[in-house]
Amino acid sequence: MVVLKGIPSVLSPELLYTLAKMGHGDELGLNIPVLLEAILKLLPLDSYVESPAAVMDLVDSDKQRGVAVPVWDTYSRLLREAGCHKSLEKVERFAFYERAKKSYAIVATGESSLYGNLIITKGVLPADELC
């Protein structure tokens, strides 16, 4: 448990260290809204890419059945609240797996939402936001 002011308790010391070590363009794979909300309080998203947040697209059989993915609405809302107004990038299943393998870090959370995995890309802080 982190016992510092302003640091969400869901962020462990190890995860804070990982976030701090990440560079511009590094990706983090995660899969839980509570953790995403906490991370977005600290981690700037990349504004130089088409979308700094990617999810695994539905497989064809799920598209044909019209499977709904409500957690994507939650992710989109949290991203908007953090100032990101770009759409979630939908990545084909096996391409998503390959991209996740190349991520700077993977956070295993036990999230059970269908298609709940998410990859976010770190950006940089504007000079006027630096102390």
Hey, where are the domains in the chain?
21-123
The model's pTM? 0.87
More confident: 111 or 62: 62
| CATH H superfamily, domain 21-123 | RbsD-like domain (3.40.1650.10)
More confident: 74 or 9: 74
Which residue among 17, 48, 73, 97 is the active-site one? 97
Distance of CA 45 to the CA centre of its chain: 9
CA 108/CA 15 separation, integer angstroms = 11
Residue 118 near residue 27, CB atoms below 8 Å: no
Residue 28 near residue 22, CB atoms below 8 Å: yes
Write down the pLDDT at residue 36: 94
Task: Check if 17 is active-site.
Answer: no
Distance of CA 112 to the CA centre of its chain: 16
For 18-41, write each residue's pLDDT tens digit: 999 999 999 988 768 989 999 999
- Pick from 51-60, 65-74, 105-114: least confident: 105-114
Which residue among 17, 24, 48, 73 is the active-site one? 24
Which parts of 6-129 fold into alpha helices (H)?
13-21, 33-40, 60-65, 70-81, 93-101
Residue 31 near residue 118, CB atoms below 8 Å: yes
Task: Check if 97 is active-site.
Answer: yes
Task: Check if 24 is active-site.
Answer: yes
Task: Tell me the Ramachandran region of residue 93: left when phi exceeds 0, alpha when psi lies from -120 to 50, beta otherwise.
Answer: alpha
| C-alpha dihedral, 36 to 14 to 18 to 106, nearest 10° | -60
Residue 32 near residue 120, CB atoms below 8 Å: no
What mean pLDDT do residues 58-87 have? Answer: 96
Average pLDDT, the chain: 92
What mean pLDDT do residues 56-70 have? Answer: 97
What mean pLDDT do residues 30-59 have? Answer: 92
Which residue among 46, 57, 75, 115 is the active-site one? 46
